Structure 1
């Protein structure tokens, strides 16, 4: 289960990509820039959710 510690950072990479994508679409005048920002926000939320989940999982394993 060691890979769970590293998969949370994939969400940060996705968030950075979608923020970049949102700003490029915003500068071009596309209407779909808000969708990119929403996806980036969800990716940041998932990062913190997974981070909390991994900490709880580690604490549970330490108790056993």
Structure 2
């Protein structure tokens, strides 16, 4: 179960990478990288979704 918690934090790493990519493209080219911003927002959403899902799953295991 510990590997699942690792992937939860991997979403934050990917969000930071996509956000860095979007900022870097904006600074160098002056264009807005909507796809990178979208993936960054999706990764942050998935982090909170997985965190909430894991808490719910842990509560079910503790109640048995």
The answer to whether TM tops 0.5 is: yes
Query: Match of 2:51, SS?
Result: helix
User: What per-residue deviation string (whole Å, max 9, x for no partner) do you get for residues 36-63 of structure 1?
Assistant: 1110000000000000011001000000
Distance 1:28 1:34 in 2: 15
Distance 2:9 2:19 in 1: 15
Distance 2:5 2:51 in 1: 8
Distance 2:20 2:62 in 1: 39
Q: Does 1:33 align with 2:33?
A: yes
Aligned to 1:50: 50
Any unmatched runs of 5+ in structure 1?
none
**Matched residues, number:** 64
Distance 1:14 1:30 in 2: 23
